[in-house]
Chain A
Amino acid sequence: MIRFVHRLNIVLAIVAVIAVVAVYSQKHVAELTADEIVRIERAMARQQADLSILKADWAYLNQPTHIQPIVDRHNEVLNLQVAKVAQFGNFADLPMRPQQRLDTDALDALFETIEAGEDPIGSLLEDLL
């Protein structure tokens, strides 16, 4: 019995030492992770700040108030003007495609000769070869 208690004590002592080491290392790992979280959060905040500035920059560059002076400055080359009424049109104003007339008589004649067993195009090709 005493021996058993002895052994138990030794086992418990070892378990305690292992537990202490484990808890300490866990704590250490947790601290490292917490550091990393802080680092990533900082990076995110910084990137969000950068992003917000880039977005603002993009919005600024897209503003009509920003584009107009550029257009004015280069108007000698671009020659942009307010659209005149005559420059507008709509689909209804487009003329219809000119009607293509099929020469039905000639086609009929062609089909008849093919049906009769003669192939005028085939014989043309044969002549070429």
Chain B
Amino acid sequence: MSAIIHDQGTIAIDGARKARGNLTGARIRWAMVFVLLVFSVMGARLIWLGNVVVDTTIEGQARDAIMASRPAILDRNGLEMAVDIRVPSLFAEPRRIIDVDEAADAILTVLPNLDSTWLRQRLTGDRGFVWVSRELTPAQQERIMRLGIPGLDFLEESKRFYPGGAVASHILGAVNIDNVGIAGVEKHLDDDNLALLQDLGLARDSALTPVNLSIDLRVQHILHDELLDSLERYQAIAAAGAIMDVNTGEVIALASLPDFDPNVPAGMLQEGHFNRITAAKFEVGSIFKTITFAGALDSGAVRITDDIDARFGVRFGRYTISDFHGKYRILSVPEVYQYSSNIGTIKMMQAMGKDNFRAFLTRMGLEGAPVIELPEVTRSAIPATFSEVGAATASFGHGLSITPMHMLTAMSALVNGGRLMDATLFPRTEAEARAVSTQVVSEQTSAYIRYLMRHNAISGSGSRANAIAKGYRWGGKTGTAEKVIDGRYSSAKSLALFASAFPLDDPQYALIVLVDEPKPENETSGRTAGWNAGEMSGRIVTRIAPMLGVQPNLDPMLDTQLVPAQLRAGML
């Protein structure tokens, strides 16, 4: 193989090798062009694939957000209050369904409660994803799988389950079908950046650490149980209660009836099913006297040894305020508390001065909404300045409204040595609580209040309950607030409250209970708070104290030691 090239007269003869070399060179070039072409096609395809946006949303929602789980909620001892369970949800890919009618009929055999025309409409079309039915049981999933319809598949969703049912409903709140908290602690957790984690797709499976609450589920159950009992026993329209650790501000239990089952959150919206501890304000009545007493004693205007003239009602123009259980004589300070004398309390408030009294209410944290990790809170209603009459009625808890949570927080401060701290639903140590607390009354005032509360339980309106809770050194103040019906205070409809603490020689727990519109239990029983809210408090204390590690002690010395030194001399 050779080629003869004539070029400008000279003749060059290429050898066979050279000719083959040229040919090889041409082949290599062609090969390179071919390889380049193939690679550029591949590269272009890669770029194209890289730019394809994969639609991970399911009907407008991120797939991760739907499959996201929520952290388990545990009580202070590690018992589950809310857990996630994985449940299958049925979805369809309409573009892959061959025979819509056949598919719809088959699905209806398993899920008969679906609407037939709605289902047909849902399965028709060219969409890639439609929900058919969410949160099925494993048995339903099995049966649908056996139908063998193409274009149907399941997605594992997280569903919130509250094993306790209604027991802690107002604490936990609820979630909607997309697992988003809509009330209670669940909503608080979402507002507190869980939602962000879910959006980022990080909140998956068991990666989330469980959240501990300060609630003790056993105590919570007893409180709930006793409240249920009181609804029946006193035919009340509502009842609520809360228990707080006075040294840490942790809420140990909180319940408000009527309530709802968080597994069926629709019940939450029913009339009257709101949280009466934080989201309702009341004229709390006589239990407020404890706060007036603390203010008057702490200001130094009244001493514990003073005598108060309660012989005559207090006149304001045309009105005269008198006593419910009137003694109409000169009373000592403990007697004013024991007989719940309105006259005596007004006199003590007046000795302190109404402006000082108003300032003291702010100091006790009664202003604004109660501080707690629940979205359902309401602001208290206290007049910015008091008139003479306003201050007088306020001193015994009328003409101003606060939530029971305000009262409980203030009571805790009054018995724990005067340290006011915010209520919390999450565990907190005593040292942490101390760091965020403010001293609102002196240690001495706190000791006086403990004495007065115990005194009232031994010989005042708490004596019926004290007989039940014997040995737990328990005491408190009753309050029977008459309700305003058509602008007037009604004697038939009232709100019974009891704010108390135990054991008063070493205060640990404060509790407040309220019964709305109680009726007498039987012919012989009364209608005032000592009979209903008081007795219920006593029953709660006997049941919860052993669980909370409070040992009963019948030693009379403990009560004697509570009596302030100035009064002890007079007694002996």
Contacts and interface: CB of A to CB of B under 8 A. Distances in A.
Given A53-B86, A56-B83, A85-B552, A63 B546 contact: no
Nearest to A89: B551
Contacts of B156: 45, 49
A45 to B, nearest CB: 6
Interface string B157-195: 000010111010000000000000000000000000000
B276 to A, nearest CB: 20
Contacts of B88: 49
Interface string A58-92: 01101111101000000000000011010010100
Contacts of A65: 164-165, 167, 221, 224
Identify which of B84, B86, B546, B551 gathers the most chain A CB atoms within 10 Å of its CB: B86
Contact of A64 (B205, B221, B470, B471): B221
B543 interface: yes
B542 interface: yes
A9 B494 CA distance: 105
A37 B211 CA distance: 33
Counting contact residues on chain B (CB < 8 A from A), the size range is: 20 to 34
Interface in B87-110: 87-88
A88 B551 CA distance: 7
Contacts of B31: none
A113 interface: no
Contact of B87 (A49, A59, A82): A49
A52 interface: yes
B470 A85 contact: yes
B83 A59 contact: yes
A33 interface: no
A59 B552 contact: no
A52 B85 contact: yes
A39 interface: no
B163 A60 contact: yes
B217 interface: yes
A63 B551 contact: no
A55 interface: yes
Contact of A68 (B221, B542, B546, B551): B221
A88 B80 contact: no
Contact of B86 (A49, A62, A63, A85): A49
A68 B218 CA distance: 10
A53 B85 contact: yes
A112 to B, nearest CB: 53
B19 interface: no
A59 B164 CA distance: 8
B502 to A, nearest CB: 13
Given A45-B156, A82-B542, A85-B470, A63 B164 contact: yes
Contact of B84 (A45, A52, A68, A83): A52
Nearest to B225: A68
A85 B470 CA distance: 7
A48 interface: yes
Nearest to B554: A85
B205 A62 contact: no
B114 interface: no
B472 to A, nearest CB: 8
Identify which of B88, B164, B218, B224 gathers the most chain A CB atoms within 10 Å of its CB: B164
A53 to B, nearest CB: 5
Contacts of B85: 49, 52-53, 55-56
A86 B148 CA distance: 68
Nearest to B217: A64
B552 A63 contact: no
Nearest to B158: A52
Contacts of B543: 82
A44 to B, nearest CB: 10
A63 B217 contact: yes
B91 to A, nearest CB: 16
A32 to B, nearest CB: 23
Contacts of A64: 164, 167, 217-218, 220-222
A88 B86 CA distance: 45
B546 to A, nearest CB: 6
Interface in B443-497: 470-471
B79 interface: yes
Contacts of B224: 65
Identify which of A60, A64, A66, A83 gathers the most chain B CB atoms within 10 Å of its CB: A64
Nearest to A42: B156
Nearest to A53: B85
Contacts of A48: 86, 205-206
Given A52-B84, A53-B85, A55-B83, A63 B205 contact: no
Contacts of B205: 48
B468 to A, nearest CB: 10
B399 to A, nearest CB: 40
Interface string B113-139: 000000000000000000000000010
Identify which of A45, A65, A82 gathers the most chain B CB atoms within 10 Å of its CB: A65
Contacts of A56: 80, 83, 85, 161, 163
Contacts of A53: 85-86, 138
Contacts of B80: 55-56, 59, 62
5 contacts: A55-B85, A56-B80, A59-B79, A62-B79, A64-B222
Top 3 closest pairs, chain A to chain B, by CB: A49-B86, A64-B221, A59-B80
Given A49-B88, A53-B86, 12 more contacts: A56-B83, A59-B79, A59-B80, A62-B163, A63-B167, A64-B217, A65-B221, A68-B225, A85-B554, A88-B551, A88-B552, A90-B551
Interface of A: 45, 48-49, 52-53, 55-56, 59-60, 62-66, 68, 82-83, 85, 88, 90
